[in-house]
């Protein structure tokens, strides 16, 4: 994968005219509509901040599949908004549970963030995607015991979905060229985007009313 061509290094061959990656773009456009709907249903400030952060991330992600700007700005923007979303999630769970993050959690998250910055500028996409997932999982695990049974049940499914999505990115990194050689017009990345859509819907239905 090549950071410069993000997200066109995902496994959907981009068009030279019109919408660059129409399958991924359309799936992401649907996800924007879903987030907007649940954003309108929020009743607390922290839930609104959480879903608004998700909306900003999703809009930038969707735009990236529509067209490519020949700089790293899209990669920087999407990754930065992903972390804003993570911190919004940390804030939302703190407000929902009234449980402050411990000093050890903060130190651990700062360590992950520091390594993520290094990975972002020096390592493969999968490395800083892993640090992002680890950051998110750390928040999940810390607050897990303070959540209701219904949220825990949905959260378990969400954790499995996120893990499968990460494996999907690993598969693209290893096998994309081979897959496109066999099926050059098949939008393999759209499969990952569909999984992300399910995860996003589950996330919204779980946390819009906390």
User: Mean pLDDT score of the chain, rounded to an integer?
Assistant: 90
Helix (H, G, I), strand (E, B) or coil at 152: helix
pLDDT of residue 184: 86
The pLDDT assigned to 4 comes to 36
Model confidence at 197: pLDDT above 70: yes
The tens digit of pLDDT for each residue in 137-193 reads: 999 999 999 999 999 999 999 999 999 999 998 998 889 889 989 998 899 999 999
Residue located via tokens 């309108």: 40
**pLDDT tens, 85-121?**
999 999 999 999 999 999 999 999 999 999 999 988 8
Sign of CA dihedral 90, 91, 96, 102: positive
pLDDT of residue 1: 38
Cα–Cα distance measured from residue 182 to residue 59, given in angstroms and rounded to the nearest whole number: 32
Burial 123-138 (b: 16+ CB within 10 A, else e): eebbebbbbbbebbeb
Q: Where are the domains of the chain?
A: 17-207
127 touches 119 (CB < 8 A): yes
- Helix 45-66 and helix 188-207, axial crossing angle in degrees, nearest 10: 170
- Residue with token string 């700089």: 71
What pLDDT shows up at residue 3?
A: 40
Is the CB of residue 116 less than 8 Å from the CB of residue 128? Answer: yes
Paired tokens of 146: 């303070």
Mean pLDDT of 184-207: 94
pLDDT higher than 60, residue 58:
yes
């Amino acid at each position: 994968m090549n950071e410069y061509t993000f997200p066109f290094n995902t496994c959907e061959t981009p068009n030279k005219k019109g919408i660059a990656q129409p399958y991924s773009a359309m799936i992401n456009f649907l996800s924007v509509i879903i987030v907007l709907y649940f954003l309108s249903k929020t009743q607390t400030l922290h839930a609104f901040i959480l879903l608004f952060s998700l909306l900003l991330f999703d809009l930038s992600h969707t735009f990236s599949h529509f067209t490519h700007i020949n700089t790293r700005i899209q990669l920087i923007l999407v990754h930065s908004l992903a972390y804003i979303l993570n911190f919004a999630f940390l804030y939302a769970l703190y407000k929902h549970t009234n449980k402050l993050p411990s000093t050890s959690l903060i130190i651990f998250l700062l360590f992950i963030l520091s390594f993520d910055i290094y990975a972002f500028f020096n390592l493969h996409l999968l490395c800083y995607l892993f640090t992002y997932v680890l950051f998110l999982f750390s928040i999940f695990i810390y607050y897990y015991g303070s959540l209701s049974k219904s949220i825990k049940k949905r959260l378990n499914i969400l954790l499995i979905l996120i893990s499968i999505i990460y494996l999907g990115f690993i598969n693209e990194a290893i096998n994309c060229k081979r897959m496109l050689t066999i099926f050059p017009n098949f939008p393999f990345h759209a499969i990952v985007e569909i999984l992300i859509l399910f995860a996003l819907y589950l996330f919204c239905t779980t946390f819009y009313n906390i």
